[in-house]
Structure 1
Amino acid sequence: MFSAQGPSLRELAIQALSSVEDGYDRLAPKFDHTPFRTPESVLDATADALRPLGPFGEGLDVCCGTGAGMRVLQPLCEGRICGVDFSSGMLAQARGAHPDAEWVRADVRALPFDEGFDLAVSFGALGHFLPAERPALFAGVHRALRPGGLFAFPVGAPPPIASGWYWTLLGFDLAMRLRNAVWRPPFVMYYRTCPLHAVRDDLAGAGFTVTTTPLPSLGRRADGSARYRLVLARKAANVR
């Protein structure tokens, strides 16, 4: 799962016992050599689904990490593109890889933007927020978008209970809960705290109109349904 350029087991253990911010600062130089980076297939499928809805003006990557989301924003946005994250280490890597983009260090639960973007995206970040924190995150994205703006992110279908992935993700979440119960600072990363129905409710509560579209290039489940869907949360055109 890790290339030779990726982190060692010792480095991963240190990260796991750190806070989220410090952990990602430590992991940043080697993050793109881990399986935690959003796969290019997911980025490309997202861009393909968004292309008929564009072009867009200015774009924002929420929880940008090392900047993988720029693969989506750059071809779709005609204006500036910006990434926001609270890890200075991850932002340093992003800045080196994409010097023409704008990079902002901020807590995304209190985004420092006001109607500055037409498209916002996010990849693999929702598990870093407890359910009680999602409303503030989504409200901030809503505020950051211009009227008619779009917030888009892919969501995977839950694995069936008989699959190995179901038990792997359940075991990971249980291990993280145990770790956070006995160790401080906490490291918030859960895979099972953001089901699609709950995410839709929180987005609607923030003022978005929510639809989804399948990403068929990422495969299908045994019942024929898509393994991934793209959430499309639209800010009303007349909201000021």
Structure 2
Amino acid sequence: MFSPDGPSLRELTVQALSSVERGYDLLAPKFDHTPFRTSDPILESVAKALAPLGPFTDGLDLCCGTGAGLDVLAQVCGNSVTGVDFSAGMLDVARRLPPPDGPDVRWVRADARALPFGTAFDLVVSFGAFGHFLPRELPGLFRQVHSVLRPDGAFAFPVPAPPRPSGPGFWALLGFDAVMRVRNALWRPPFVMYYRAFRLSTVLRELERAGFAVELRALPGFGRRADGSPRARLVVARRAGTGQPAAGTVNS
């Protein structure tokens, strides 16, 4: 499916009936030939938006998968970039990437809900992984990210505008989530992937509760909708520096 080098329908079915970890281990060799990989325009737009927010020294790609975010971090981090994921198969693919010029690269297998790092980074990014976390898991996840960031460090990730109910995208995502809920009610182990469960209002609230100062920046290159709102935003959550209070949310 998707392309001649992509997974077959049978392979996708086997993946969908597996656990999240096992499913991605199976999909890893063909993952980059599916629409599930974060697209290059999004990656490039995030890199451009992050550049003026630096300089950054050490970066972490949370739930890095096959390493699509490597170049983003390599463009803005001067010392090191780290990818962390709990799928050994995805990390095996990531390790085959040619190393970028400049920062050192390492890949770590770990659960994002229990990160094995100290206060080691001044930038954390993530691309397309939050659907794998239930809403009740977000507070703990955000506390983990907060704990590995240095003072004034940033946690950044892109968020597309939700599709309108009048468009086919809305109903496609609604249908996908409904199928996943039925699947998880009938089959074990569960495969957690819900597109509509990651709601921006909830995310902003939980980031602030975790101690972040949050702002939203329009991502360049995606334009605006008819009501003037951006088609895609970058969430930038800063860990307050010593003695600095957390700020509120700024919309753009």
Larger helix fraction of residues: 1
Other-structure match for 1:72: 72
Superposed CA offset, 1:32-58 (max 9, x none): 000000000000110111111112000
Q: How far 1:131 moved relative to its partner?
A: 0.4
> Contact (CA 8 Å) 1:216, 1:226: kept in 2 or not?
no
Normalised by the size of structure 2, how large is the TM-score? Answer: 0.93
> Contact (CA 8 Å) 1:60, 1:81: kept in 2 or not?
yes
Alignment of 1:1-240 (within 5 A): 2-99=2-99, 101-238=105-242
Give secondary structure in 1 for the equivalent of 2:108: strand
Give secondary structure in 2 for the equivalent of 1:176: helix
Give secondary structure in 2 for the equivalent of 1:198: helix
- The verdict on how the C-alpha distance between 1:221 and 1:59 changes in structure 2, with shifts beyond 3 A counting, is same
Which residues of structure 1 form unaligned runs of 5+? none
Normalised by the size of structure 1, how large is the TM-score? Answer: 0.97
> Contact (CA 8 Å) 1:95, 1:101: kept in 2 or not?
no
- The verdict on how the C-alpha distance between 1:30 and 1:167 changes in structure 2, with shifts beyond 3 A counting, is same
Give secondary structure in 1 for the equivalent of 2:3: coil
Please identify, of 94-103 and 190-199, the stretch whose mean Cα deviation from structure 2 is larger.
Answer: 94-103
> Contact (CA 8 Å) 2:82, 2:108: kept in 1 or not?
yes
> Contact (CA 8 Å) 1:169, 1:191: kept in 2 or not?
yes
Matches of 2:108 and 2:240, distance apart in 1? 26
User: Which residue identity does 1:165 align to in structure 2?
Assistant: G
Give secondary structure in 2 for the equivalent of 1:11: helix
Stretches (4+) displaced over 2 A: none
Matches of 1:234 and 1:106, distance apart in 2? 23
> Contact (CA 8 Å) 1:122, 1:153: kept in 2 or not?
yes
Matches of 1:69 and 1:37, distance apart in 2? 10
Which residues of structure 2 form unaligned runs of 5+? 244-252
Matches of 1:213 and 1:88, distance apart in 2? 33
Q: How far 1:98 moved relative to its partner?
A: 4.3
> Contact (CA 8 Å) 1:121, 1:151: kept in 2 or not?
yes
> Contact (CA 8 Å) 1:41, 1:218: kept in 2 or not?
no
> Contact (CA 8 Å) 2:49, 2:220: kept in 1 or not?
no
Superposed CA offset, 1:44-85 (max 9, x none): 110111111112000000000000011210010001100000
Instruction: Give the superposed CA RMSD.
Output: 1.3
Question: What number of residue pairs does the alignment pair up?
Answer: 240
Q: How far 1:238 moved relative to its partner?
A: 0.9
> Contact (CA 8 Å) 2:119, 2:148: kept in 1 or not?
yes
Identity score, percent: 63
